[in-house]
Structure 1
């Protein structure tokens, strides 16, 4: 878990290829201009990250806030992030 959302400085444009330890599906390339692929990448990183460095490298705070209300995540993972970062809960409320 990052110390702050501001620590998330991942890519925001282009095509991203996640390392094998995060995505071994065979579809590890994500075109960030395609909303479904962007959401899929964020879901994958959030579920599979094994270190804070993974999160800081591949996620962007602004994109995470934008995606958060509609991002499908396991309930425990969502709750952990929302407890650590109440701003994500507010983002979800604002989107409702």
Structure 2
């Protein structure tokens, strides 16, 4: 046989397992604050993120424009290197009101909702039955 059709199932599983282990080994850690009350960032005005948070494109976010605060929150949550990044740029009340609509990778959302069950509760209480 030629091509991929001669690959045995155990070979596929071995390759998939190795790829999964490699992703886990090099995965960026998820940073979560110690408490939501520590999130004291702005909710209006223009915010310029440092390069370690927004490394390409415009680093400025006008939080008074619809949608930009959500873009900022998604970027900061995904790229934070320390809890201080979260404390400086996120706001507790704004995060709670935006949580259910912010697109986040599953491992990130899971880490936050595990630490703060009230975020998961708020999200599931608004989902249709």
TM range (shorter): over 0.9
Instruction: Structure 2: state its 5+ residue gaps.
Output: 1-31
Secondary structure at the aligned position of 1:13 is classed as: coil
Instruction: Structure 1: state its 5+ residue gaps.
Output: none
Secondary structure at the aligned position of 1:30 is classed as: strand
1:72 aligned residue: 103
- Alpha-carbon deviation of 1:35? 2.8
- After TM superposition, the structure 1 stretch with the greater mean CA deviation from structure 2, 67-76 or 30-39, is 30-39
1:59 aligned residue: 90
- Alpha-carbon deviation of 1:27? 1.4
2:50 aligned residue: 19
Normalization by structure 2: what TM-score?
A: 0.71
Deviations 1:19-54 (A, max 9, x none): 111001221111111231111110000000000100
- Alpha-carbon deviation of 1:94? 3.6
Q: What aligned pairs does 1:75-86 form with structure 2 within 5 A after superposition? A: 75-86=106-117
- Could you list the structure 1 runs, at least 4 aligned residues long, displaced by more than 3 angstroms after superposition: none
CA contact (8 A) 2:46 2:61 kept: yes
Distance between the aligned counterparts of 1:76 and 1:24, measured in 2? 22
Query: Which has the larger Rg?
Result: 2
2:5 aligned residue: none
CA contact (8 A) 2:43 2:69 kept: no
